[in-house]
């Protein structure tokens, strides 16, 4: 999972025809594991998502199904308009070697600036998916700080920052909410604080968390079921 997971201010996003860009946004859940979002541009004529995907095996290949959608916070699905860097299925791009990283872009009809969105490819298997792509710069920076603290072994500092973020944003039902709850549950579970982990789990269950079933499945894969 990409280091993925607002301030108690309701932000009003305005779209005045000027391009607005987000670099390296955080998100909740993704597939495949080697895919990343590098950039999102909200333009007057299109919403463009720049991604990369890396081969992690010999003879790897990839393509994009035409039934790929940007899903807005209200659940409205916006269908893919154009694709660059990869072919539409059933044609495929064959990677030359493991470790090769390929950039590509997905362009959707203009959506205006969104607080968050998801990308979902509807296909038979190995589908591209990013849940809860976050566009708020301040929150992205705070999440980056929390994950950096965790990576440096400063687990409690990361925990308190995740806790502050979820307490400030829970009522906004952001698409990345489940990822913040998951981080808190995993930290408590790892440290043996099972009652605290269960309390976060129960709160996630009753907080209108977007894509809740997917986060529960992710926790089950970690052996966490309450």
How much is the average pLDDT of 13-27?
Answer: 76
Say what the pLDDT of residue 125 is. Answer: 87
Per-residue pLDDT tens digits for 129-186? 999 999 999 999 999 999 999 999 998 999 999 999 999 999 888 999 999 999 999 9
| Dist. CA 30–CA 67, nearest whole Å | 17
Stretch 210-222: mean pLDDT, rounded?
96
Q: How buried is 108 (Cβ within 10 angstroms: 0-12 exposed, 13-18 middle, 19+ buried)? A: buried
Count of CB atoms within 10 A of residue 118's CB? 22
Nearest to 120 by CA among 30, 189, 221, 27: 30
* Whole-number pLDDT of residue 18: 63
Cis amide bond preceding 90, omega within 30: yes
Q: Where are the domains of the chain?
A: 20-134, 137-221
Asked if residue 4 has pLDDT above 70, the reply is no
Query: 40 pairs with which residues across the strands?
Result: 22, 49
Structure tokens at 222: 């970690």
Give the Å distances, CA to CA, from 178 to 3, 56, 151, 175.
13, 27, 20, 7
Torsion angle (degrees, nearest 10) of CA 131, 69, 220, 201: 50
List, for residues 107-119, the tens digit of each pLDDT value: 999 999 999 999 9
Fold classification of 20-134 (topology level): Immunoglobulin-like (2.60.40)
Q: Is the pLDDT of residue 5 over 70?
A: no
- Looking at the predicted structure, is the pLDDT value of residue 30 above 50? yes
């Amino acid at each position: 999972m990409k280091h993925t997971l607002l301030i108690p201010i309701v932000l009003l996003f305005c779209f005045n025809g000027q391009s607005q860009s987000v670099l390296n946004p955080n998100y909740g859940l993704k597939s495949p594991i080697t895919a990343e979002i590098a950039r999102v541009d909200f333009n007057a004529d299109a919403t463009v998502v720049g991604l990369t995907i890396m081969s992690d095996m010999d003879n790897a290949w990839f393509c994009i199904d035409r039934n790929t959608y940007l899903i807005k916070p209200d659940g409205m699905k916006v269908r893919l308009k154009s694709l660059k860097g990869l072919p539409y299925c059933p044609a495929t791009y064959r990677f030359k070697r493991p470790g090769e990283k390929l950039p590509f872009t997905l362009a959707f009809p203009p959506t205006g600036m969104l607080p968050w969105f998801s990308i979902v490819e509807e296909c038979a298997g190995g589908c591209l998916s990013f849940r809860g792509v976050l566009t708020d710069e301040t929150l992205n920076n705070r999440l980056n700080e929390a994950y950096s603290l965790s990576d440096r072994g400063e687990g409690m500092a990361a925990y308190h920052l995740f806790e502050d973020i979820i307490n400030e944003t829970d009522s906004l039902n952001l698409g990345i909410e489940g990822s913040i709850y998951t981080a808190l549950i995993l930290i408590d579970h790892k440290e043996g604080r099972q009652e605290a982990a269960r309390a976060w789990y129960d709160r996630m269950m009753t907080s209108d968390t977007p894509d809740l079933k997917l986060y529960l499945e992710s926790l089950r894969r970690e052996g966490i079921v309450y």
